[in-house]
Every structure is written in C-alpha cells, then in structure tokens.
A = this chain, B = another copy of it.
Amino acid sequence: MTLRADGRSAAQLRDITITRGWSTQAEGSALIEFGNTRVLCTASFTQGVPRWLKGEGTGWVTAEYAMLPRATNTRNSREAVKGKVSGRTHEISRLIGRSLRAVVDTKQLGENTIVLDCDVLQADGGTRTAAITGAYVALAEAIEWARGEKILKANAKVLTDSVAAISVGIIDGTPMLDLPYEEDVRAETDMNVVVTGSGDFVEVQGTAEGAPFKRDELDALLDLALIGTTELAQIQTETLKKSK
C-alpha cells in the first residue's frame, strides 16, 4: 500500500546525496540533497575569535542560513534587497548554530572560528534539516583541513560526536518521515529533530500546525525521527571516509 505521492513508505527517507568538497574556495564544504532539496554548506575556518571571546582559550562556531530567491516554486524577494533578514531565516540560522555547537568541544578548537553558511539552492521541504546534516560534513572537513595545516594538533578531539536532523510529521493521522514540501503543508503536526550519532537529542521542535497533539503522537514521531537520523549518520560517516 503506497501512502505517499513519491512512492515512499512512511518510515523511508528521500534519496540522500552528499557531495563533499563541492567548493574549491572553502576550508570545508558539502552539497547535500534530500530529494529535490539542495543545500550548499560551506565551513569557513579562520584563526582568532570575536573580540568578546578573546583570551578565553575557546573557539567559536556560528551559522547562517539563507535561501536563493528562486529556490522555491515562486520567487521570493531577496532579503539583502529588502534590507532585513526575516524571522524565519534568523530562527533557522540560530538552530543550525546551536545544533553544530552541541558536538563541538570549543576548548579543543582553541581560539579559532568556524562559520557555517547553508545556502538553499533549491527547496522542497526539509531545508533546515538538510542544512544541519550537510553542515556537519563541511564542519568535519574544515577541521580535517586545519589539522592538515597544523593549526589544530593532530590529536585535538574537536568533534565529540556527529549530528544530523530530520523532519517528521503527522499527515492524515499517520506519522511520516522526511516531508517534502507538499506533505509539509498538509501536516497536522510538524517536528524537527536533531540527533547525535550516539542517538541522543540535541533539539526537539514540535509544532501543532492544525490541532494540538497528544503524548502518544509525540512518542511515535520521535521513534520515527530516530530511524531517519540513524541512517543519516551512516551516510555522513561514509561520505567523510571518501577522499575529498
């Protein structure tokens, strides 16, 4: 019985592709695809930290998310032209930053800064979860680069774990994994879950889009999310094994 327009079962991810080293300019980079959603993630590694952190002996990791104006089905005004970043963009940038910082030991990073840029080239639902998952690969590449450059010691254990994210939602009463745009708009409840490689939670953000949800629905969604993030963690590991 096919429940979903794209033929997937409820607990199945879309086709996931991660192309590491996509950029020849950045210290780390990955082009990640969750089906038609495509996000270019770059990690910019610079020595030194913002002024307010100087002398603390710890590093800084931050993220910025954005969408190209025609990533979506109809064109959105460019935020730079409007002169301000939308609440949604801010919110997602902050989420990505927190998610990645959860697996970074900033003491081990030393007084260095990593900026993660996640630019959505094409959007079909799940852009923030793809961004987090891809940003982890770019981040890992940048740290590898810094070790190669002897900026970080060979044995610096900067990353304490991996991190990946997926969306889940209840559609027509059924919990489903990894929602494309057309499912996302129909979901009664929508949840983004960020999980470490070890299976612990970093962020759980559930929202009742239609009706408030019950405790057992919340439980079912969390179970489903963990299936997705486990699979994403494996893809991340395999990707990082390949040479750039």
Q: Point out residues on A near B: beta carbons under 8 Å.
A: 23-26, 29, 36, 40, 42, 44, 46, 64, 66, 68-75, 78-91, 93-94, 98, 102, 115, 117, 119, 121-123, 161, 191, 195-196, 198, 200-208, 211-215, 218, 222
Cα-based distance from A80 to B85 in the complex (angstroms): 6
Closest 5 CB pairs of A and B: A87-B90, A200-B212, A79-B80, A42-B70, A80-B80
14 contacts between A and B (CB under 8 A): A44-B69, A46-B75, A70-B115, A79-B80, A83-B83, A83-B84, A86-B90, A87-B90, A91-B94, A102-B212, A200-B214, A201-B214, A201-B215, A204-B205
Query: Chain B contacts of A215 at CB under 8 A?
Result: 201, 222
B85 engages A81 (CB within 8 Å): yes
Cα-based distance from A46 to B70 in the complex (angstroms): 12
Evaluate whether A68 and B119 lie within 8 angstroms (CB atoms) in the complex, with A79-B80, A90-B90, A214-B201 already known: yes
Shortest CB–CB separation between residue A67 and chain B, in angstroms?
10
Most chain B CB neighbours (cut-off 10 Å) among A122, A196, A198? A122
Q: Contact partner of A80 among B66, B122, B211, CB < 8 A?
A: B66
Q: Contact partner of A23 among B70, B91, B213, CB < 8 A?
A: B70
A81 engages B64 (CB within 8 Å): yes
- With contacts A75-B115, A84-B84, A102-B208 known, what are 17 further pairs, Cβ within 8 A? A23-B70, A25-B70, A25-B73, A40-B68, A44-B70, A44-B75, A46-B74, A69-B117, A78-B80, A80-B84, A91-B94, A98-B207, A191-B204, A200-B208, A201-B218, A202-B207, A203-B205
